[in-house]
């Protein structure tokens, strides 16, 4: 019996049968239609047989090749408007017919496959029925299963890659003479040769992938779509090895599709972008979602003139005008990544530029950062990489010395000045600090985009591009800098090194949260004492947040490894589920960020920060380009023998396992509450405690003598750092009653309306708790402009059972609901109605 999954309540299904076939490369050819709110076109999939049915296996360990030239020339390809990689080519008389293969097989295939299906059917994970055993008219036809949702699939066809002129050069003579006379085998052999070209021929690989993607179809394939999948078969084909290895899918997205958001930017202009949906990219293109399905891609996207297309590609694309009013943008990647990392944003973005002398000065200032890495660390880079073959920056001598990679900033027109004030100057500082900490940047360039106000997070990192919420811009450089550092850290942890099981998101978020503090301290060039003070203050704030979340959330959502010993396991076909992946409230939780952070903080304190950062640099060199599980840390002697000097004492005892540290962090709510006393010695915390005492004493004095006005000079309050202000306001939230005059004085003393979003959020909490009506405008503004952080405030407005506050909540939700992401809207609606 098949398991039926509720798309709004249960775990996220990953149905792609990756054990039988793997997508190695995607070629997308798409048009963006803002009027109809659809993206339509085609995607060509180049496939290889998977581990369960691979007929042959390559001997020896694949290693990384050096890439000495990361740039390539582009020129427009008129027929399909996809730029071509310039590669050495020579004219050849060998054409399609020179293979001397009969066309009868092709004709028969076309006739058999002309009757295809596009009927909706329920889809789920079956424990008793294997995709390879699905019967059709008495035959056991192989079924290719792709992850797919909210897409209108129009046609699926086999691609005749053998018709590409000159393609025979890919097949070595020995293989050509021994190839079967069946056309399907030849096509599959061509695809195999194409996707297994060595890394130093990556330009040639892109060139021929483009040509093959433009080849004609040679017969339609039978397909059907379900709630979560697209299933494709070819009549009479019973094994993955014989299934077509190059297929083209014609499709269009749906306006309600959950992988992209159609909205307007802050200047009121239309835009569409991938907003980090819980269902990932399956509503943008049919794909294989499991992290293990690493692939490369190239994409040509056409849109009306005036729009800019940004993508998670290696190249900084320049538009090509196809005809009047239509531009084409082309991007590609040569590093295999999960399909979930594919990112696109189309809008009237403006590039934010700075006077050249300012940018030069900023870069020069930050390249002075001392590198903690020793020459021994850099010799690691010269060793063989452990990942599948691709052009790796860790093997590129020039890339290893690049402290600041090329970067650009894009934003809606109305936010350009705000971006220039802080963000543009912070990027080189943060990139340099990251390089000083971890070494080689895994990606060759970086775009930063300020996304629309409906973005449900403060930031999101993808290869070569970072999305930031507008909420990081106001109130100085602190929130902008810390969030930028967090997203930059994901280049190493989350992207270059990914979790093999998505339930282990702490591997990405815990490391990024820990490294955020390291990067930001170095970017500010703080003294040792200043660094220690800021990090202890930050740790206290995170401990308070984690304590509150643990006390007010479902226990099952607090476990870092919810699948425990079955983490990383999947069915024979490769299908699996992401546990709790569709719980709407989960995207607002920070347990995995915070518990992961405290685990890493404990490790750093145990072995010393210097030794710990040295071990992280070695870890990056060892595991970049690979997927890992928590088991790497649990069985550290087995997986990390190079780090023995850091993790084992002289008696051979692992200092990480000695205290049963992993069990405490991974599978329980501990070790939270016992750490609350450790920050009392921090000077910054002590300073806040003194200010809290002043405010509470003043509040009591005013309440006792309400007829007397409070004189401004009665109490002198100190100016505080942004994180100190957060702690101050959180401490004052614990007071049962604050009188209106105290709240008024509080706002004026610290100019709370001008502070960053973290501070303003706590101010709004105070306003709501004490029903301070002069501050209701601040709450309304926050819910409108800071949607990435405002969901919690809706609940606070409702829980007080105050008519004015509830009216305010409903008014704000009505104004924002249309453009809210689905998860946010669902959670807020449950609070209000």
Catalytic residues: 487
- For residue 334, the 8-state DSSP code is E
Spatial separation of the C-alpha atoms in residues 132 and 661, rounded to whole Å: 43
Q: Please check whether residue 211 is in contact with residue 160, taking contact to mean a CB–CB distance below 8 angstroms.
A: no
**Helix (H) or strand (E) segment spanning residue 407:** strand 407-411
Closest CA to 633 of 610, 607, 651: 607
Q: Where are the beta strands (DSSP E) in 15-136?
A: 21-33, 38-49, 74-75, 84-85, 120-121, 125-126, 135-136
Spatial separation of the C-alpha atoms in residues 497 and 617, rounded to whole Å: 12
Spatial separation of the C-alpha atoms in residues 500 and 291, rounded to whole Å: 6
528-561 as b/e, with b when 16 or more CB fall inside 10 Å? eeebbbbbbbbbbbbbbbbbebbeebeeebbbbb
Q: Please check whether residue 181 is in contact with residue 279, taking contact to mean a CB–CB distance below 8 angstroms.
A: no
Spatial separation of the C-alpha atoms in residues 644 and 652, rounded to whole Å: 9
Spatial separation of the C-alpha atoms in residues 624 and 630, rounded to whole Å: 15
Spatial separation of the C-alpha atoms in residues 147 and 288, rounded to whole Å: 6
Q: Please check whether residue 613 is in contact with residue 437, taking contact to mean a CB–CB distance below 8 angstroms.
A: yes
Token output for 584: 């709407």
Place of tokens 């010993």: 565
Main-chain dihedrals φ then ψ at residue 751, nearest 5 degrees: 50, 55
Spatial separation of the C-alpha atoms in residues 414 and 450, rounded to whole Å: 11
Q: Please check whether residue 147 is in contact with residue 231, taking contact to mean a CB–CB distance below 8 angstroms.
A: no
The contacts of residue 22 (CB under 8 Å, 6+ apart) are 47, 48, 49, 50, 288, 293, 295
DSSP-derived pairing of the beta strands 270-274 and 344-347? antiparallel
DSSP-derived pairing of the beta strands 74-75 and 84-85? antiparallel
Spatial separation of the C-alpha atoms in residues 752 and 759, rounded to whole Å: 7
Cα-based distances in Å from 478 to 422, 423, 446, 469: 10, 10, 21, 14
Token output for 107: 């004709």
> Greatest CA span in the chain, whole angstroms?
103
Spatial separation of the C-alpha atoms in residues 35 and 636, rounded to whole Å: 54
Q: Where are the beta strands (DSSP E) in 50-165?
A: 74-75, 84-85, 120-121, 125-126, 135-136, 139-140, 143-147, 151-159
The contacts of residue 659 (CB under 8 Å, 6+ apart) are none
Q: Is the dihedral of CA 285, 288, 289, 294 positive or negative?
A: negative
């Amino acid at each position: 019996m098949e398991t039926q999954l509720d798309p709004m309540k249960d775990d996220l299904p990953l149905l792609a049968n990756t054990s039988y076939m793997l997508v190695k490369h995607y070629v997308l050819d798409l048009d963006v239609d803002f009027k109809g709110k659809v993206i339509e076109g085609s995607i060509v999939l180049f496939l290889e047989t998977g581990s369960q049915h691979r007929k042959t296996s390559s001997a020896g360990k694949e290693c990384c090749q050096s890439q000495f030239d990361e740039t390539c020339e582009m020129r427009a390809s008129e027929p399909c408007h996809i730029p071509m990689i310039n590669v050495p080519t020579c004219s050849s008389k060998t054409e399609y017919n020179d293979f001397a293969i009969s066309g009868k097989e092709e004709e028969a295939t076309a006739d058999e496959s002309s009757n295809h299906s596009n009927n909706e059917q329920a889809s789920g994970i079956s424990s008793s029925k294997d995709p390879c055993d699905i019967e059709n008219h008495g035959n056991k036809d192989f079924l290719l299963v792709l992850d797919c949702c909210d897409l209108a699939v129009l046609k699926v066809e086999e691609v005749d890659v053998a018709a590409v002129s000159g393609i025979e050069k890919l097949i070595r003579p020995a293989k050509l003479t021994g190839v079967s006379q069946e056309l399907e085998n030849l096509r599959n052999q061509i695809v195999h040769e194409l996707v297994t070209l060595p890394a130093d021929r990556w330009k040639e690989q892109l060139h021929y992938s483009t040509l093959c993607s433009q080849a004609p179809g040679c017969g339609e394939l039978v397909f059907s779509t379900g709630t979560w999948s697209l299933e494709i078969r070819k009549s009479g084909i019973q094994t993955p090895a014989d299934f077509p290895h190059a297929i083209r899918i014609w499709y269009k997205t749906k306006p309600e599709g959950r992988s992209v958001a159609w909205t307007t930017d802050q200047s009121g202009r239309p835009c569409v972008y991938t907003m980090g949906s819980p269902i990932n990219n399956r509503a943008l293109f049919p794909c294989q979602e499991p992290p293990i399905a690493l692939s490369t891609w190239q994409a040509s996207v056409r849109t009306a003139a005036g729009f800019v297309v940004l993508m998670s590609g290696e190249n900084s694309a320049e538009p090509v005008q196809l005809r009047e009013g239509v531009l084409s943008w082309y991007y590609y990647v040569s590093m295999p990544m999960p399909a979930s990392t594919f990112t696109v944003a189309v809008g009237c973005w403006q590039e934010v530029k700075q006077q050249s002398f300012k940018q030069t000065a900023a870069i020069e200032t930050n390249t002075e950062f001392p590198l903690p890495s020793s020459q021994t660390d850099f010799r690691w880079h010269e060793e063989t990489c452990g990942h599948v073959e691709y052009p790796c920056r860790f093997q590129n001598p020039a890339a290893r010395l690049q402290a600041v990679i090329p970067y650009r900033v894009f934003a809606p027109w109305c936010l350009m000045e705000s971006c220039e004030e802080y963000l543009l100057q912070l990027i080189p500082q943060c990139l340099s600090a990251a390089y000083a900490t971890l070494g080689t940047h895994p990606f060759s360039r970086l775009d930063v985009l300020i996304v629309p106000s409906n973005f449900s997070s403060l930031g999101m990192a993808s290869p070569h591009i970072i999305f930031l919420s507008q909420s990081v811009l106001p109130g100085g450089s602190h929130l902008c800098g810390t969030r930028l550092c967090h997203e930059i850290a994901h280049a190493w942890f989350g992207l270059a090194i990914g979790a093999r099981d998505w339930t282990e998101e702490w591997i990405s978020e815990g490391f990024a949260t820990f490294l955020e503090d390291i990067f930001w301290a170095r970017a500010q060039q703080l003294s040792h004492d200043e660094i220690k003070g800021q990090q202890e203050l930050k740790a206290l704030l995170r401990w308070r947040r984690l304590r509150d979340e643990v006390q007010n959330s479902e226990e099952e959502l607090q476990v870092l490894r919810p699948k425990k010993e079955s983490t990383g396991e999947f069915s024979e076909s490769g299908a699996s589920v992401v546990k709790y992946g569709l719980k709407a409230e989960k995207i607002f939780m920070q347990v995995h960020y915070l518990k992961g952070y405290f685990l890493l903080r404990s490790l750093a304190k145990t072995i010393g920060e210097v030794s710990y950062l040295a071990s992280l640099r070695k870890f990056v060199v060892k595991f970049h380009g690979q997927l890992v599980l928590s088991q790497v840390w649990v069985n550290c002697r087995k997986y990390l023998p190079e780090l023995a000097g850091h993790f084992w004492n002289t008696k051979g005892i692992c200092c990480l396992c000695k205290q049963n540290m992993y069990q405490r962090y991974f599978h329980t709510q501990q070790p939270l509450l016992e750490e609350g006393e450790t920050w009392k010695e921090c000077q910054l915390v002590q300073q806040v405690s003194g200010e809290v005492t002043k405010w509470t004493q003043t509040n009591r004095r005013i309440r006792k003598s309400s007829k007397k006005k409070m004189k401004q000079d009665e109490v002198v309050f100190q100016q505080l750092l942004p994180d100190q202000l957060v702690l101050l306001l959180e401490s004052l939230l614990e007071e049962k009653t604050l009188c209106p005059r105290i709240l008024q004085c509080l706002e004026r003393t610290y100019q709370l309306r001008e502070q960053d979003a973290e501070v303003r959020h706590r101010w709004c909490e105070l306003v709501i708790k004490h029903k301070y009506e002069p501050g209701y405008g601040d709450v309304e503004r926050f819910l409108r402009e800071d949607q990435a952080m405002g969901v919690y405030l809706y609940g606070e407005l409702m829980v007080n059972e105050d008519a004015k506050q509830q009216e305010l909540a409903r008014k704000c939700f009505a104004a924002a609901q249309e453009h809210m992401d689905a998860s946010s809207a669902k959670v807020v609606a449950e609070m209000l109605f």
